[in-house]
Chains A and B, each alone.
Chain A
């Protein structure tokens, strides 16, 4: 009912925004009429061609798998460490200084070093993206765990809950909406950094496809790949939204 309605309205908003973007793009292309900015029609045709011969699927699959692996290896450790640090002053005394050093670092700039350490294969790309997700989730998990109302902790403690039970029953659910929000934010960064990582030492991934078609002066294909990368980002966003609806049914009622 109202939830479905809200979902539809959101989808309609996304479609509308996309239409406006495409219209602006068409205008700009017509006004400039330069080869590096083909109109949306050409780009969509290229998108269709690459999608149907499997090229896009291959590259998008490679990119998606890198992001998902990066998430898989970084989210849970970062969330666990962050939540624990937020609740334990002793652990926080170790973690917080680490965060202050790690968080503001321009991690993408370390790509050359990461390539040296982890080699030219998948590991270094996953590591770079994972590092970015890790530090953002860590910070927001810590802050979120600190904000858990004391009274909520006390009230469950008064029922005889152990520390582990407190973590599972109170700290994790209280922080989950914040964690998902910061996941959304870090996904945006992750996709941007993924592009950078895929311009080195690989022949798969949408980042590679963008740079490759650029060097071949195949501008329509380049835009097709950019569209695919945007869609990948959008899909990840939608997945986090779906996860939130599934995991925090109580949360939509709060506003």
Chain B
């Protein structure tokens, strides 16, 4: 279980090199609980602090106050079992598909043979086996996305943080990627947190949707529970369900999230209400 308690993040104003002590708040007073084994989503307008929040959970930055807890332990620095997928995938251009996927294992000090034998089946599962020697620049967006997932899974994480993972994919690839993520979750126990701009995506994927609002600082303003998307119902062996998106309940949920976002202070183009 991941828990945020009055989490606040701020940044030094300017480039950070000057002696300027003034700090700009990015997130303040964020409270949330992300259930173990489930998918949670965070939606919110640009600049409301979604990335900052994810980085705090990932241990990539130190909160200015409050805390993030993973399984009741305070996050203090990078954690081996937390995997992060960044918006632009964060793949190293000078490493091949295989080289990128095995990076966490290389950093853990595993030998070449061991790395290969662990990454091989993953690449197979993700449909990347034929591309193992390609450099990322040669891949389509959807494939880069899968390499990023392969890399995240190689470390056998229990928590997967995804910062707008699908936003640069075209509509069809994006839908395929969503299915793919559900498939990945079905085959291993994982807690997943997805940051997204898409209301429809959040409502389709997550059992809990958190709406963020405000700017400098932003905070978590509202929470929507979606029992239809609960892990027990969706990922249990043999469970099958009809497309949630075809139900009236889904449309109502989207509308509710949308109006929550609308009432949520600054709009996309920065105009304050």
Interface set of A (CB-CB < 8 Å, partner B): 89, 92-93, 149, 151-152, 154-161, 165, 169-170, 173-174, 248-251, 253-254
In the complex, the answer to whether A151 meets B93 with C-beta atoms within 8 Å is: no
**Contact of A173 with B94 in the complex, beta carbons under 8 Å:** yes
CB distance from B40 to the nearest CB of A (A): 19
Cβ A253 vs Cβ B138 within 8 A:
yes
Judge whether B92 and A173 touch: CB under 8 Å: yes
Is there contact, CB below 8 Å, between B107 and A161?
yes
Check if B78 sits within 8 Å of A154, measured CB to CB. no
Q: CB of B86 within 8 A of chain A? A: yes
Q: Which 8 A-B pairs have the closest CB atoms?
A: A155-B90, A158-B84, A173-B94, A250-B135, A89-B17, A250-B94, A159-B104, A253-B137
Name the residue on A nearest B82 (C-beta): A158
Question: Contacts of B83 on A, CB cut-off 8 Å?
Answer: 158
CA distance A151 to B55 in the complex (A): 11
B206 at the interface (CB under 8 A from A): no
User: With a CB–CB cut-off of 8 A, which chain A residues contact B267?
Assistant: none
B60 within 8 A of A: yes
A254→B137 contact, CB < 8 A: yes
* B29-84, CB < 8 A from A: 55, 58-60, 78, 80, 82-84
With a cutoff of 8 Å between Cβ atoms, the chain A residues found around residue B94 in the complex are: 173-174, 248, 250-251
How far apart are A251's CB and chain B's nearest CB, in angstroms? 8
Docked complex Cα distance between A152 and B86 (Å) = 9
* Residue in B17, B87, B88, B107 whose CB lies within 8 Å of A159: B107
Whether B254 sits at the interface, judged by CB under 8 Å, is no
> Which listed residue (B58, B108, B135) contacts A158, Cβ 8 A?
B58
Q: Look across to chain A and name the residue whose beta carbon is closest to the beta carbon of B96.
A: A250
**Known A151-B86, A155-B86, A248-B94; contact A160-B60, beta-carbon cutoff 8 A:** no
Can you give 27 A-B contacts (C-beta < 8 A)? A149-B88, A151-B86, A151-B88, A152-B90, A154-B55, A154-B86, A155-B84, A155-B86, A155-B91, A156-B103, A158-B58, A158-B83, A158-B84, A158-B90, A159-B107, A160-B104, A160-B107, A160-B108, A165-B107, A173-B92, A174-B93, A174-B94, A249-B135, A250-B94, A250-B137, A253-B135, A253-B138
When C-beta atoms are compared, the residue in chain B nearest to A247 turns out to be B94
Secondary structure at the A interface, as helix, strand, loop or mixed, is helix
Shortest distance in angstroms between A84's beta carbon and chain B's nearest beta carbon?
15
Q: How far is it, in angstroms, between the C-alpha of A149 and the C-alpha of B17 when the chains are bound? A: 17
B interface: dominant SS: loop
* New A-B contacts (13) at CB < 8 Å, excluding given A151-B88, A173-B94: A89-B16, A89-B17, A93-B17, A152-B90, A154-B60, A157-B60, A157-B78, A160-B80, A165-B107, A173-B92, A249-B135, A253-B135, A253-B138
A254 to B17, CA, bound (A): 32
Q: In the assembled complex, how far is the CB of residue A248 from the closest CB belonging to chain B, in whole angstroms?
A: 7
* Assembly CA distance A240 to B73 (angstroms): 52
Q: Does B155 contact A (CB under 8 A)?
A: yes
CA separation between A166 and B263, bound complex, in Å?
Answer: 42
Q: How long is the Cα–Cα vector from A165 to B93 in the complex, in angstroms?
A: 16
Bound Cα distance from A192 to B92, whole angstroms: 38
- Cα separation A250 to B100 with both chains bound (whole Å): 13
For the complex, give the distance between the alpha carbons of A159 and B138 in Å. Answer: 24
Give the CA-CA distance A150 to B260 in the complex, in Å: 32
- Cβ of A130 to closest chain B Cβ, rounded Å: 28
With A89-B17, A253-B135, A254-B137 already in contact, the answer to whether A158 and B93 are too (CB < 8 A) is: no
Please tell me if the beta carbons of A169 and B137 are within 8 angstroms of each other in the complex: no
Inter-chain CA distance A154–B85, complex, in Å, is 10
Rounded to whole Å, the gap between the CB of A249 and the closest CB of chain B is 8
Q: How far is the CB of B58 from chain A (nearest CB, A)?
A: 6
Given A158-B84, A159-B104, A159-B155, does the pair A254, B93 have CB atoms closer than 8 Å?
Answer: yes
Q: Within 8 Å CB of B135, what residues of A?
A: 249-250, 253
Given A158-B82, A159-B104, A160-B107; A152-B137 close (CB under 8 Å)? no
